[in-house]
């Protein structure tokens, strides 16, 4: 879907070629510690430029000043896991704790469900309490703990937690999660 979702301060819009530069600035502005927890090498301009053109489901949250404050992606797995969608989410420091992460996560969940995915997963570095709390609040549950599974930029080993959510349960819990409200916003024909 390409419809925008607006709050008074931010607009969530599908990533397009015009976002390549502000998106690079957004990732460059994240503290090193946060970049560690993003799978791709977001410091590589070619990686980010490729995203703007590859047609994968990605959205950014933009402010009135043209800056990007958040990024979320929904990647469908392939082959025998093509019913599974993986979410990736990051919010910039100046907007944290104001509900933007939840807004983007709900948007991504809604889009993943609309695309037909029946299982949603998110990989969270075990120490990321904020991400764990956010996705737990949306009904995700720990499904696997992969010990020493990733290395941060300093080479230190970290545990990775795979959180998962079954879409059947999501639909039945729609009102509880407030996703119906999110769907209303996405379905706005304007």
Q: How far is the CB of 62 from ligand COA (least distance, A)?
A: 15
Output the six-digit token pair for 37: 């927890």
Relative orientation angle of helices 179-186 and 100-114, to the nearest 10 degrees: 70
Site string for ligand COA, 45-64 (x = CB under 6 A): --------------------
108 binds ligand COA (CB under 6 A): no
99 binds ligand COA (CB under 6 A): yes
Q: Cβ distance 82 to 119 under 8 Å?
A: no
144 binds ligand COA (CB under 6 A): no
The span from the first CA to the last CA of the chain, in angstroms, equals 13
Q: Cβ distance 61 to 100 under 8 Å?
A: yes
98 binds ligand COA (CB under 6 A): yes
Query: Between residues 151 and 168, which has the closer beta carbon with respect to ligand COA?
Result: 151
Kindly indicate which of the ranges 11-19, 41-49, 129-137, 153-161 contains the residues binding ligand COA, using the contact rule CB under 6 A. Answer: 129-137
Kindly indicate which of the ranges 51-59, 91-99, 146-154, 171-179 contains the residues binding ligand COA, using the contact rule CB under 6 A. Answer: 91-99
User: Which residues are near ligand COA by CB under 6 A?
Assistant: 34, 37, 88-91, 96-102, 122, 124, 128-131, 133-134, 137
């Amino acid at each position: 879907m390409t419809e925008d979702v607006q709050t008074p301060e931010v607009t969530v819009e599908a990533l397009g070629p015009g976002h390549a530069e502000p998106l690079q600035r957004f990732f460059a502005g994240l503290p090193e510690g946060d970049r560690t927890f993003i799978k791709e090498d977001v410091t590589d301009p070619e990686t980010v430029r490729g995203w703007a053109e590859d047609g994968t489901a990605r959205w950014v949250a933009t402010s009135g000043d043209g800056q990007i404050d958040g990024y979320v992606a929904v990647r469908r797995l392939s082959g025998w896991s093509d019913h599974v969608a993986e979410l990736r989410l990051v919010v910039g420091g100046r907007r944290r704790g104001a509900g933007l992460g939840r807004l983007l996560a709900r948007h991504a969940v809604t889009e993943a469900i609309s695309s037909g995915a029946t299982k949603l997963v998110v990989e969270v570095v075990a120490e990321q309490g904020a991400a764990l709390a956010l996705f737990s609040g949306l009904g995700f549950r720990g499904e696997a703990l992969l010990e020493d599974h990733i290395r941060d930029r300093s080479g230190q080993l970290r545990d990775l937690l795979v959180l998962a959510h079954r879409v059947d349960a999501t639909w039945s819990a729609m009102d509880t999660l407030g996703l119906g409200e999110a769907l209303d916003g996405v379905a706005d024909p304007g």
